[in-house]
Amino acid sequence: MNTNLPVVVLKGIGDKKSKLLDKMGIRTIENLLNYYPRDYEKNMPITKISEIKMDEINVIEGTICFPTQNIRKRNMVLTKTKIRDNTGEIFAIWFSQPYLKNKLKIGAKYIFKGKIQYKYNIVQMSSPQIIEISKYSESINHLKPIYPLIKDISMNFMTGIIKQAIEYTRNQLKEFLPNEIREKYNLAEYNYSIRQIHDPEDYESLETAKKRLIFDEFLLFALGINLIKEHTNDVINEFNINDIPNEKKLIESLPYNLTGAQQKVWKEIKDELKSNKAMNRLVQGDVGSGKTIIAALALLYVADNNYQACMMAPTEVLAKQHYNSITQLLNPMGLKVELLVGSMTKRQKDEIYKKLKNGEISILIGTHALIQEKVEFNNLALAITDEQHRFGVKQRENLSDKGKYPHILVMSATPIPRTLALIVYSDMDVSIIDEMPPGRQKIETYAVNTSYRERIYSFIEGEINNGRQVYIICPMVEDSETLELESVVSYTEKIKERIDNKIKVEYMHGKMKAKEKNDIMERFSNDEIDILVSTTVIEVGVNVPNATLMIIENAERFGLAGLHQLRGRVGRGEYKSYCILITDSKNTITKKRMDIMCKYTDGFVISEYDLKLRGPGDVFGLKQHGLPEFIIGDIFRDIDILKEANGLAKQILSNDKYLESEVNKYLNHKMKRYFTKRIEQISL
Ligand SMILES: Nc1ncnc2c1ncn2[C@@H]1O[C@H](COP(=O)(O)OP(=O)(O)OP(=O)(O)O)[C@@H](O)[C@H]1O
């Protein structure tokens, strides 16, 4: 069965629709079959008219008992009728659908589904959906798939073409897992799973199908990532890097001793820089665990060996911050560090490009985009990046200088359990800084409801009077940048009205230009702003040690990882710090999350709990932390399946190192297809 045929072979897909589908990543029948629902919906039970609930969607079964009228209002037609069941009557209204008048004749009986509202002085059902009774009762237990959509692609259209695709391929999709493997891991057959995921018989069949498809996804991922590792293990280190006297000098110049974990990780990096293997390493460390000094040591080590090194950050704010701290550490070692960010003038940038090309600059810090796109290095031997921007194959090639691949170091502040890290980052070597610098005070954390606001305002004033600064992560409005902006502005106004007018309050949001955000962050860093009200644009790595209070409104919106990252913005200096989580949610998962946050500060412990408490609302979740994204699997929720699939991948590869044997041919093909889209995300 050729599932690689374009979707236009299906009925109802013309030029326009196929372009729209293309935008959704759907080009072939296979893409369509792998476009899984994001959720499922059951038909709602029928409510008696006497028991309908106001301002909610209700389903009623009733007979038209009033002559349906079309009423003209300005340039719109309003269709009005009345529905009766044996408990009462209710008006129903539709807009711009005059043809309904003929359908809704007195005596006609239907199911009506719509919101009940009090409008124009009457209680009415607004624009209800009209459903044939027979169809509704037939499907009362039916799980209807809900697909993610874009404009001009309707749910009906999507359901329709997927149904066609299933009929088209009925039971002839190639099963690529042998029976004994399916038996061993308790996995359903492939055709069955695809059918059930789109049109489940019941919850049980759905779960069975999901398990199989999640397993598939993890297996293909694990095969691919392990193969990449196999291919890149042997990349040779082309640089001649040796011990330098400045290493000891830098370590001795620090006002603290490196922790045991920092020493261990630094040794791993140093040994690799000196070895004959090209480095591709991830350094994981909790917020504030001291990753910057590790980066500085690596930059120094390479630069003192007369090679170039660069460090990239996702935003200008962070690039500047790294620039400042690295300069402070390395200037005394006789090294000049340069900065390259978008807001510099063309002349300034050109100057940097020139000096990089001729080798005058040995250490460059900048934003990711700039360093990758334009820069030509003279002899780049080390590139440090953050986990959101791990290098794709192409990008690393772009950075490679005369065929020499630079060493790659990825810094990650997402503390995920070691077992998980070893699987999802298995294309890299992983070093973990699993110890915090001594003497850190616990960030006192409280979870309260909104009735505490007044007291919180007094607390804010107290901190500011003591010379400290405050972050507030303000309530966010779902999915709307415009509304998000409004909510930051109005929240800031409210705070200003309420607190002492000598206190300086500023806000920051996602729609601001980089330069505006830089200015605000710089002023906040320089203590010219007391309270920074922000949406979640506040960067993961921002370091303002004088800030001691983090207030998170609507804390229920965040998963544990997000809350932990945000809280990590305080407690970075010598002062006692606090985090206040505000939520009115009574949801049990939210309550548990809040309890865990109040009790624990160790990111690795929190991430273990995160595994157990996954749930909706993690808007500050995976994406921001650069973990690989999956279509149907969730590495936290489905960790057991991930482990099994990873184990199987390793076993398959141990017998067939490059997945080339005849039996694995189709698996190899599937894996490549799966990786076509992802290959850019994976480190080489
Ligand atoms: N061994 C140590 N002993 C004491 N203080 C340390 C030690 N290592 C680093 N620090 C200090 O701890 C603070 C946090 O370090 P750093 O900014 O490197 O954290 P980080 O790991 O980059 O955190 P984040 O991921 O949140 O940005 C800095 O002020 C740094 O000087």
The helix, strand and coil proportions of the chain, stated in percent and rounded to the nearest 5, come to: 45, 20, 35
pLDDT given for residue 403 in this prediction: 58
Distances (CA, A) of 442 to 469, 536, 562: 18, 23, 18
pLDDT given for residue 426 in this prediction: 80
Q: Is the dihedral of CA 125, 131, 133, 137 positive or negative?
A: negative
Which atom number of ligand 1 is nearest to the Cα of residue 259?
A: 1
pLDDT given for residue 512 in this prediction: 81
Q: How many CB atoms lie within 10 A of CB 455?
A: 11
pLDDT given for residue 617 in this prediction: 37
Residue among 510, 582, 569, 498 nearest 540 (CA):
569
- Find the 435 Cα to ligand 1 centroid distance in Å: 11
**pLDDT, tens digit, for every residue of 527-573?**
999 999 988 767 666 788 899 999 999 898 888 888 888 899 998 88
**Pairwise CA distance, residues 388 & 362, whole Å:** 25
Which atom number of ligand 1 is nearest to the Cα of residue 257?
A: 1
- H/E stretch holding 306 reads none
CB 30 within 8 A of CB 4: yes
Q: How many CB atoms lie within 10 A of CB 119?
A: 11
Which parts of the chain register pLDDT below 70? 1, 137-141, 232-234, 369, 372-373, 387-403, 475-486, 537, 539-541, 611-629, 676-684
pLDDT given for residue 681 in this prediction: 42
Specify the residue with its C-alpha closest to ligand 1, atom 24.
287
Q: How many CB atoms lie within 10 A of CB 619?
A: 15
State which of 284, 289, 564 you would mutate to test the pocket of ligand 1, scoring each by most atoms of that ligand within 8 A of its C-beta: 289
pLDDT given for residue 679 in this prediction: 47
Output the ligand 1 site: residues, CB below 6 A.
256, 258-259, 262, 285, 287-293, 413, 437, 541, 543, 568, 572
Q: Tell me the whole-structure pTM to 2 decimals.
A: 0.72
pLDDT given for residue 537 in this prediction: 67
